[in-house]
Amino acid sequence: MSPDTGNELIQAEAAAWLARLRSDSVRPQDQAGFQAWLAADARHAAAFEAVTATWDLVGGLKIPRPMRAVEQPSPNRRGVLLMSACVAAAIGAGALYWRDQPPEIYATGHGEQRRLLLADGSRIVLDTDTQIAVKLGSDRREIALARGRAYFEVSPNPHRPFAVTAGGHEIVALGTAFEARLDGGAVTATLEHGRIAVAADGTNSRDYLLAPGDRIAFLPGGAVRRDRPDMTLALAWRQGRLGFDREPLAQAVAEMNRYASQPLVIDDPAIARLAISGIYTAGDNEAFANSISMLLPVKAEIEPSRIRLIGARKVRRPG
């Protein structure tokens, strides 16, 4: 039996179980049989979930309710078969529905974060100034990251791959948790746990397989950088905090400014390359400026519309 034939059989069995469990003649023995069927193969639960989701999505079909004698305890086979056929029809209709439906768009504004729970059980955290398009198909789950950063906790389903596209690159996962970021033409993927494959664009068509703790960045110009960051720092943004590990002050300032209404401005090129480490509250630029003024030779000048960072020995310009 080919894999496709096996999958079709499992889908048909799932449709039959859905029909039986939702019929008027369902019995306790049916519930026990259903649980045994689920336990027999790991693919059964995923198939039943997909069939149920499709059935619910298209709103079911009008099922003629067969007449049955009160004293007859066994299921009406004709009625169950009729409902099974209707479920199968709904699956076909649902597949067409999914293909034809436009994706759902989710976005955050400046300084905003948002948590999503998708219909398949996957969870997403959107960082500030982020936009994604979500399309959950019957055989594939697709997320397009238009800008920003998002964290994905993927609900396992080997028959419905979960793919995130960003800047021409594709990140494919099953049951896993990872971060994807698109910023200034650079695409970065960071894997917390599980496994993902990242397909590069352009002439380099190889897949990069990431292990837990890996990070890969595709930079403008074609360069590829791989490393293993401190995951506590790398993923701190999900709790509204930003972590830096010996990063240039200019880079840390750019990151802090993504969340705050009062921007930090480096007014002295000499301090832009100073290294900064630590975890700071996203959106609180004044606390960040006060902290680095104690750690680095930097002076913070708080103004109504901005916070100027200058060298501690630099004389302030008039005006």
**Could you read off the pLDDT of 48-58 as tens digits, one per residue?**
776 666 554 44
Tens of pLDDT, residue by residue over 137-174, are 888 899 999 999 999 999 888 888 999 999 989 999 87
Residues contacting 113, CB < 8 A, separation 6+? 125, 126, 127, 128, 238, 240
d(Cα 67, Cα 93) in Å, to the nearest integer?
Answer: 28
**Residue among 138, 134, 122 at smallest CA distance from 47:** 138
Percent of the chain past pLDDT 70, that is, above it, reads 75
What pLDDT is stored for residue 214 in this prediction? Answer: 96
The third-level CATH classification (topology) of the domain covering 104-232 is Jelly Rolls (2.60.120)
Supply φ then ψ for residue 249, to 5 degrees: -55, -40
What pLDDT is stored for residue 3 in this prediction? Answer: 53
d(Cα 113, Cα 172) in Å, to the nearest integer?
Answer: 24
What pLDDT is stored for residue 245 in this prediction? Answer: 93
| 160 or 81, which is more confident | 160
Supply φ then ψ for residue 86, to 5 degrees: -65, -40
**Residue among 227, 207, 142, 216 at smallest CA distance from 179:** 216
d(Cα 298, Cα 308) in Å, to the nearest integer?
Answer: 10
For residue 92, pLDDT over 60 is answered with no
Which residue type sits at 234?
A
For residue 86, pLDDT over 50 is answered with yes
| 161 or 90, which is more confident | 161
d(Cα 248, Cα 273) in Å, to the nearest integer?
Answer: 5
Q: Give the residue carrying structure tokens 């067409």.
A: 96
What pLDDT is stored for residue 89 in this prediction? Answer: 53
What pLDDT is stored for residue 22 in this prediction? Answer: 66
What pLDDT is stored for residue 69 in this prediction? Answer: 32
For residue 275, pLDDT over 70 is answered with yes
**Residue among 92, 88, 122 at smallest CA distance from 104:** 122
What pLDDT is stored for residue 8 in this prediction? Answer: 67
Overall average pLDDT of the 235-256 stretch? 95
Residues contacting 69, CB < 8 A, separation 6+? none
| 299 or 1, which is more confident | 299
Give the 3-state secondary structure of 75-102: CCHHHHHHHHHHHHHHHHHHHHHHHHCC
For residue 65, pLDDT over 80 is answered with no
What pLDDT is stored for residue 319 in this prediction? Answer: 45
Percent of the chain past pLDDT 90, that is, above it, reads 50
**Residue among 252, 227, 225 at smallest CA distance from 241:** 252
> Under a CB-based contact definition with an 8 Å cutoff, are residues 166 and 199 in contact?
no
What pLDDT is stored for residue 120 in this prediction? Answer: 86
Whether the full predicted model's pTM is greater than 0.75, yes or no, is no
Residues contacting 173, CB < 8 A, separation 6+? 152, 154, 161, 162, 163, 164, 194, 195, 196, 197
Would you list the domain boundaries of the chain? Answer: 3-100, 104-232, 240-311
Q: In CATH terms, is domain 240-311 a member of 3.55.50.30?
A: yes
What's the chain's average pLDDT? 80
Q: Where are the alpha helices (DSSP H) in the chain?
A: 3-21, 28-40, 42-57, 77-100, 231-234, 249-257, 285-295
Angle at 173 between CA 171 and CA 179, to 5 degrees: 60
For residue 302, pLDDT over 50 is answered with yes
Which tokens sit at 246? 């010996």
Confidence band (pLDDT; 50, 70, 90) for 36?
confident
What pLDDT is stored for residue 153 in this prediction? Answer: 95
What pLDDT is stored for residue 25 in this prediction? Answer: 64
Confidence band (pLDDT; 50, 70, 90) for 6?
low
